[in-house]
Amino acid sequence: MAPLVEHIIDEFGLRREPGKCVEELRMPLDEDKGTALHRIIRADGWGVVAYAGDDRGDLPAFRVALASGGYALVVDGPDAAEEVASVAGVHFSCPGEFQQWLGQLDDALG
């Protein structure tokens, strides 16, 4: 990593989060997509949720969705991380397949 980026990480206490083709720099908080989804479920009293994602950053939300009795909708691809590809849930081979499924769902609900 570039020295300037290392300096910024050290100065602001950021943490690294690996992603698909990126490395995110995040605030040093105990917050992620899973804690956010958990708060939403609690606040809104939702019974069943479905969470869609395609990256390591989505893993906490997949866990919360599944633990709540909901569904993990995993959008796979050639560069999917092993941890994401092994999530128990409904898997789509690419974003286009997921988009097509969403269209079918919209038609069925509409």
Closest by CA to 36, choosing from 65, 74, 13, 12, is 65
Model confidence pLDDT, tens digit, residues 1-11: 678 888 888 88
Q: Is 94 found in the same domain as 57?
A: yes
Q: Is 70 found in the same domain as 17?
A: no
**Element housing 18 (H / E):** strand 15-19
Q: Indicate the Cα dihedral angle 87, 33, 99, 21, nearest 10°.
A: -80
In this prediction, residue 48 carries a pLDDT of 86
Give 16's contacts (C-beta < 8 A, 6+ positions apart).
Answer: 9, 23, 24, 25, 26
Q: Is 18 found in the same domain as 7?
A: yes
Q: Which domain holds residue 100?
A: 31-109
Q: pLDDT: is 94 or 46 the higher one?
A: 94
pTM exceeding the 0.95 threshold for the entire prediction: no
C-alpha 68/C-alpha 45 separation (Å) is 11
pLDDT at 20 over 70: no
**How many domains does the chain contain in total?**
2
- Average pLDDT (30-39) is 92
Task: Report the CATH number at residue 67.
Answer: 3.40.50.1100
